[in-house]
Structure 1
């Protein structure tokens, strides 16, 4: 014999019921089956809602009941043959008349007790099971409706009745000896006490009914038919890559269901677990799908055996209550007193944690019961509170529990470290931790806002280790930004195959528009993204990133904006990595620079800005490696502006200086305003950044900057700037001829030595390492304690959108 239970979505309407009917027909051709049915989808909630309205003197209950009656009448018309409908329409009307009498009484008395609640709540299953049993009978199936409520005997603890198993088991055995029908249909959820009052079995009661019957009859298996294809490794509404679990042990299923996996409820597992009956979870809408087998006799694949965890579950709307005080230390009975007081108030404790100091006990409960629990605990410990042995209970709300579950956890070391490490790397603060002695479960309490992020981080770490999802938020879609985006789209297949990383561009912004997509902006959508974008600002872009709270998030700043760096600290505090092409932050006030570096370190995230100096050249990375390995930089000599190097390499007097600068701008080697490059400000920032990275607390104002531009070139618009360059052509020719007369060339250089830095135009002799530097190339010459005689030289292209974008891309990969 098999027991089949169909949930509310499986019997939501006539169309779904016909799908269930096909499943039942197929199974009953091979075995006798018992079919336990839930109420039609949403009916139980509506029945209770109507009663609550009536108790508040709110007459909208009448309309709610009328809609429910109409729903069941329509079901009869769709399922029962026309000539047979009359009696069943009368059946539905009769029972809704009885319901209306109950509601009217509640309305008059203004009282809605648990006893009445159970009586009303049970109507949904009673009606659905009768109508569907009638349908089967008219289809010619050997079917009998069974009043399972009358066979399940409970105590009188209404809404959460406790089953008298021995008596219930005898009732079912006797019933099925007397009735040999091929199909037996009955209502779930409902039972009766000794006085024949209707009771209910609590949350997941229909599953529990089916489990009780399966155990009583020693059934071959229990099947739970629902709207998902079994248990999943995580809630698919939170983790888009959640996978079905083919097999799971009873204990693992119990742990997952306790912490929120709603496919099963813990009481449903107990009766069949005791009898070692397999429980199979199947999908009514995809009956051929494998589903999940809950069993003692696991036959997992090699891959499943190697997995540390079997699943992740989560529970929302949690409150933490903490009782603490010096008077608790070493005093026996404190915990007993606390739990006794909560038990007396019928408050369920979900999670418990206590430090070894015994100074405090923290419990997690349903948030709805927090205030009630607070009053109960403070009352129970009133004397201790007055004597200041303990403090008033502390409450924290807006929390959730996330639990990772697996039998294999107890035989593996480092599971906790792996779990807490990946959460910490993503800025998820853990408020409480609990781990049972069975070691099948590690549970944490976190902010409700971090739930989705935590579930995805853990799922990726334990179930998707082959591909890590990275979310990029890019500000700046000019030349460099465009090249970077193109490189990402082109390189992603390689990254997935060889580095097991999938980069999603989850946000884009320029100075006017911004757009976001958690699933990633496709290459096709990118071409038209500005048409879909909303109004942008640095604050709004940062706030949206923080609100979305996606794991493995990286903010990429490819702008020269002075406003964007203002949001860096808030992002780092949320453990969002930052990759900055923008030099403003690293060259700002020294204390601000140190704050950003320390914030990144303290929140376990990255703040990379390699392209601040030398575009794609490994300049800052080289300094970092030298310092980490114990070396010390004593001096730096460099040509750090690809723009200025290009200009002075191409200015030979045959063209005007203005024409050469214009060429540099056209080829993308300058900022939109070339004065930023030609004034030496950009070079000063770069040598400042290198000195700071080398460990010297230098300020921008301390850098000596000897400019070569006439003062009036710095005034007015960019157009005015070019006009002034032309006007001062003789000045630039004199600079060139002065160098040539000495057999030298012009280079705009940066130097750092003895804690001081300077930038300016210099005459470079042929024997210098700076002499043979062509096009837009940069060079940085480091002298260190180790490289004192023969300096360390980094040389290569120091400007251009392609190489700068590749440098930014390298920082992104380094952050992952």
Structure 2
């Protein structure tokens, strides 16, 4: 024999009921079957609402009852042939008339007792089960309708009745065993007290009814038919990559269900678990799907974590004070006070010092729980031995569940590390002694991010999602987007990264899309975006709260750099091509570095110094390995190196500078390059990364441009370059006469930094630089006579974009 239970969504309409009837007939052909039916989807809630409205003297309950009656009548008319409708329609009308009289009495008295409410809500299952039975009859399928109120005996604790299993089992066995009928239909949720009054079994009552029947009859299997294809590794509404769990133990299933998995309510499966009866969760709307088989001893499974679940909103209540230390009984008194108010405790954690104890309850119970605890401990609070109960709300619990966790060390570390890297703060933790569950209390708004991060960590070894926002789509930004688009397949295959661009911004517009922007047509998406507001961009990005987020700044904007701190404080990694932040006042630079460390994220700006060259990274490697920088010499401007490699007096200096700008080597205002300001910023950044607290004013800049070149706008600058051609020719000729080359050199040593134009002899390491090359010479304790040299292209959109790209990957792989 087997028991099949169908939930409210499975019988919500005539079409759905026809699906159920086909499944029932197929099952009954295999072996004798008991079918337990829930109320039509939404009916129980509607009945509760009608009763409460009647008690509140709100005559609107009558309209609600009329809608419920019409819904059931419509289902009957659609389900049954006309010739078979009359008796069932009369039955529905009769039950609905009883409902109306019951609510009229509640309305007159202005009171809805628990006993009356039980009788009121019982009509949902009584109606639905009779309609299903009538449907079987119309199809010529022999069956018997069982009144669960005649079989399930409980106490008189209305709303949450306790089952008398000895009497109940005997009555079920007497009704079913030995009967000729092979198919039975029974309403779930309902039972009766010893005096015959109707009781209900509380939350999950229909599942409980099915389990009671299954346990009493010792069936081979209990099937729970619902609208999902079994239990999943995570809530599919939150995690797209969630996958079905084919087999699971009862203990694991109860842990997952306790923390939010809606498929089961743990107490309901006790009757079958203790009898060793397997429970199969199936999908009424996809019966071919395998579903989930819950067993006492499922097949061996080597996965460390079976599933991830969450429950919320919850409130965290904390009782603390010096008066608790060494004094027994506080926990007992707290739990007794909560139990007196029928408040369920979801999670418990206590400090080893006994100074505090925290419990999580449902948010709806928070105020009542706080009042109960404050009343219980009023004397201690008044005497100052305890603090008033502290209540933190808008929280949720996320739990890892798996029997194999106890056999694998490091699970907690991976959990905390994954959440920490994404800025998910843990308010409290709890782990049972059986080690089947690790529970964390976090902010409600972080649940989606947390579950996705943990699902990637424990279930998706193949792919990790990375969400990138790019501000600035000029030459470098466009090249970066091209490189990202080109490398996406390679990143998925080789690095297991699903890198998506979810945001773009220019100085005029921005767009954010948590589903990802099509990089083949990003211009269209950006053009449809709203006007740029950095405040709106930042707020919306943080509100999305996406995991593994990287903010990329490919601008030269001081305003954009001002949002770094807020992003880092929310564990959003920042990759800056923009030099403003790293070369700003030292206090701001140090604060940003500190925020990145504090919130376990990355602030990377490799391209600030040498475009795509690994200058800052190499310097960091030297320092982390115990080396110490004594001095540095560098050519750090691809623009200036290009200019002085191409200027030989045969063409005007202004023409060579124009060429550099036309080929994309200079800043929009070339004076930033030619005045040495840009180079000064770069050596400042290197000095800071080497551990020196320098300011921009500490950099000695030996200018080679006449002061008149700095006046006016860019066209005026070029005019003045032409005027001063003899000056530039004289610089060149003086160097050439000695066989030297002009290089704009940045140097640092003994805590001092300077930049300026120098004529270098052929023996110098910087003499032979070609084109737009950059070079950095590190003289350290290890590299004393022969420096460590980093050399290569130091300008150009392609190489700079590649450096930014490398920083993005470093930010998410650290």
Q: TM-score, with normalisation over the residues of structure 1?
A: 0.97
Contact map agreement 2:485 2:520 (CA 8 A) in 1: no
The Cα shift of 1:134 comes to 0.2
1:215-251 deviations in Å (ceiling 9; x for gaps) = 1111110011111110001111111111100000011
Rounded to whole Å, the distance in 2 between the matches of 1:109 and 1:677 is 87
Per-residue deviation, residues 273-306 of structure 1 (Å, max 9, x unmatched)? 0010000001111111110000013124xxxx22
Question: Bigger shift: 781-790 or 612-621?
Answer: 781-790
Q: 2: distance between equivalents of 1:306 and 1:510?
A: 49
Q: Partners of 2:726 and 2:123 in 1: how far apart?
A: 99
Summarize the alignment of residues 356-395 of structure 1 with structure 2, pairs less than 5 Å apart: 356-395=352-391
The CA distance in 2 between the partners of 1:200 and 1:714, in whole Å, is 87
Q: Distance in 2 between matches of 1:159 and 1:722?
A: 87
Q: 1:678 to 1:60 in 2, by over 3 A?
A: farther
Preserved CA contact (<8 Å) 2:631 2:748: yes
Rounded to whole Å, the distance in 2 between the matches of 1:368 and 1:256 is 21
Query: SS of the counterpart of 1:613?
Result: helix
Equivalent of 2:505, from 509, 513, 523?
509
Judge which range, 254-263 or 101-110, deviates more: 101-110
What is the alpha-carbon distance in structure 2 between the residues aligned to residue 702 and residue 801 of structure 1?
Answer: 30
How far off its partner does 1:407 sit?
Answer: 0.6
Match of 1:279 in 2: 279
Partner of 1:468: 464
Aligned length: 812
Q: How does 1:67-466 map to 2 (within 5 A)?
A: 67-177=67-177, 179-300=179-300, 305-466=301-462
- Per-residue deviation, residues 685-715 of structure 1 (Å, max 9, x unmatched): 0000001111111100111112223333333
What do residues 118-142 of structure 1 show as CA deviations (whole Å, max 9, x unaligned)? 2222211111111111011010001
Distance across 2 between alignment mates of 1:386 and 1:444: 32
Larger mean Cα displacement after TM superposition, 179-188 or 608-617: 179-188
Match of 1:679 among 675, 686, 694: 675
Paired with 1:665 and 1:38, the residues of 2 have a C-alpha distance of: 75
Structure-1 separation of matches of 2:183 and 2:376: 54
1:739 to 2:728 alignment: no
Seen in structure 2, the aligned counterparts of structure 1 residues 337 and 655 have a Cα distance that, compared at 3 Å, is same
Correspondences of 1:519-534 after superposition (within 5 Å): 519-534=515-530
In the other structure, the counterpart of 1:718 is 714
- 1:119 partner SS: helix
How far is the alpha carbon of 1:178 from its aligned partner?
Answer: 5.7
Q: 1:121 to 1:683 in 2, by over 3 A?
A: same
**Segment drifting more, 11-20 vs 608-617:** 11-20
Question: Structure 1's 532 and 112: CA in aligned 2 closer, same or farther, altered over 3 A?
Answer: farther
Between the aligned partners of 2:228 and 2:651, the Cα distance in structure 1 is: 74
> C-alpha distance in 1, partners of 2:10/2:725?
85
Shift of 1:525: 4.3
Gaps of 5+ in 2: none
For residues 470-549 of structure 1, what are the structure 2 equivalents within 5 Å?
470-549=466-545
Q: How far off is 1:150 after superposition?
A: 2.5
Q: Contact 2:15–2:79 (CA<8 Å) still a contact in 1?
A: no
Q: Would the alpha carbon gap of residues 644 and 221 (structure 1) be closer, same or farther in structure 2, given more than 3 Å must change?
A: same
Query: 1:812: which partner in 2?
Result: 808
Distance of aligned partners of 1:149 and 1:713 in 2 relative to their CA distance in 1, 3 Å threshold: farther
- Residues 738-764 of structure 1, C-alpha deviations (whole Å, 9 max, x = no match): 332333222211111221111122222
Deviations 1:148-185 (A, max 9, x none): 23311111222211111111111100010364322211
TM-superposed deviation, 1:527: 4.2
Residue 613 of structure 2: SS of its match in structure 1?
Answer: coil
SS of 2:171's equivalent in the other structure is helix
Residue deviations 1:354-411 (CA, integer Å, cap 9, x gap): 1121111111111111111111111111222222222211111111011111110111
Secondary structure of the corresponding residue to residue 317 of structure 2 = strand
Taking a change above 3 Å as real, the CA distance of residues 166 and 535 of structure 1, as seen in their structure-2 partners, is farther
Residue 673 and residue 152 in structure 1: after superposition, are their counterparts in 2 closer, same or farther (change >3 A)? same
Structure 1: 5+ residue stretches without partners: none
What is the CA–CA distance in structure 2 between the aligned matches of 1:747 and 1:513, rounded to whole Å?
40
- Output the aligned Cα RMSD: 1.5
Quick check: 1:803 aligned with 2:813? no
Q: Where does residue 629 of structure 2 map in the other structure?
A: 633
3-state SS of paired residue (2:229): coil
Q: Using the alignment, how far apart are the partners of 2:810 and 2:691 within structure 1?
A: 22
Alignment of 1:776-791 (within 5 A): 776-791=772-787
